[in-house]
Amino acid sequence: MSCPHNSFREMEKDIHTDFKDDMSYGDYLKLDKILSAQTPLSAQHDEMLFIVIHQSSELWLKLAGHELSEAIENLKQRDFGHAFKVISRVKQIFNQLTHSWTILSTLTPVDYLKFRDALGHSSGFQSYGYRKLEFLLGNKNKAFLKVHENDAKVYHELKEALEAPSLYDVTLSLLVDQGLELDQKHLSRDVSLPYERNASVLNAWLKVYRDADRYFELYELAEKLVDIEDSFQQWRFKHMYTVQRIIGHKKGTGGSSGVAFLKKALDISFFPELFEVRTQL
Ligand code: HEM
């Protein structure tokens, strides 16, 4: 009787092997650049984990920003279907990012301290991919732009995101589209300022939730926004908790109070009325 398991796989004759004049996998993905960008500053074994986790997180943040910008455009065009598709993807990206904390939590406080000094004042607080995401989602804070002042390209990109309507601002215009009344003053507010909860928005969401069949697309959009906030908050929480596990209540390399500063972010809601509506229903 033949055994279904083999210990050897034949090379198939049609497999392409000559990439002298042909684009390979590595060429397409620029692997020479990506895989030569890990340059630890210490001789400590665990610094590689620290670098790779940050770099891979930055790639996921970049993709999440790319998708969220698309969702904003889709909603501006009243294209709910495509917006739902990309918003669902963003949620899964955040889940993926949150999961990566389980790998980082294998870094012990003692091993981190062996190379922490080499990081100088560099910190995730200066992550422009992350800051752009916060701005796209509506958590605007002009003061946070200051750390990017000496990089004109990044500064400009972030300032643009700060001053543009967020995902939630565009959503509010869709409420108006459907005949729901919102305060004019709230609609024409300066969108570069931090978002403040508004009673007319809460009332509009109450109508949507109480008559979900009539406002089904808005209802579904609202629940997808709640999904996004939920998964984003999981990332914020796991970051704060992993940081606490690794450095306790030491100050951050970026100069903040550390865990205390990160905890404050947990109180920030992108879509406050969507959480308040649950109490009111
Ligand atoms: C040993 C691991 C880590 C430690 C000890 C740590 C520590 C900190 C601390 C203390 C802050 C506050 C700012 C400061 O003073 O530096 C911060 C902010 C931040 N870190 Fe980390 N972090 C770690 C890993 C990561 C990773 C893997 C990412 C992924 C990109 C990341 C992204 C961020 C971001 C985006 C902020 C800004 C958060 C905000 O504005 O609320 N961190 N981190």
What are the residue ranges spanned by the domains of the chain?
A: 45-125+166-278
8 is in an annotated binding site: no
- Return the structure tokens found at 13: 């004759």
> What is Dmax (Cα atoms) for the chain?
80
Q: Give the distance (Å) from ligand 1 centre to CA of residue 230.
A: 19
Q: Are 91 and 227 in contact (CB under 8 A)?
A: yes
Average pLDDT over residues 126-135: 98
CA dihedral 103, 106, 112, 114 (to 10 degrees): -120
pLDDT digits (tens, 9 = 90+) for 198-207: 999 999 999 9
Taking the centre of ligand 1 as the mean of its atom positions, its distance from the CA of residue 116, in whole angstroms, is: 13
Cβ neighbours around 204 below 10 Å, total: 23
Q: Domain 45-125+166-278's class? A: mainly alpha
Residues at CB less than 6 angstroms from ligand 1: 53-54, 57, 104, 107, 112, 123-125, 127, 130, 239, 243, 246-247, 252-256, 258, 261-262, 265
141: confidence class by pLDDT, cuts 50, 70, 90: very high
Q: Which long-range contacts (CB under 8 A, 24 or more apart) does 153-159 make?
A: 154/128, 157/128, 157/132, 158/128, 158/131, 158/132
**CA 152 to each of CA 55, 148, 213: distance values in angstroms, whole numbers, following the listed order:** 22, 8, 48
- Would residue 189 be called left, alpha or beta, if left means φ above 0 and alpha means ψ between -120 and 50 degrees? beta
Q: For residue range 74-126, list pLDDT tens digits in order.
A: 999 999 999 999 999 999 999 999 999 999 999 999 999 999 999 999 999 99
The pLDDT, as a whole number, for residue 41 is 98
The per-residue pLDDT for range 22-58, each reduced to its tens digit, is: 999 999 999 999 999 999 999 999 999 999 999 999 9
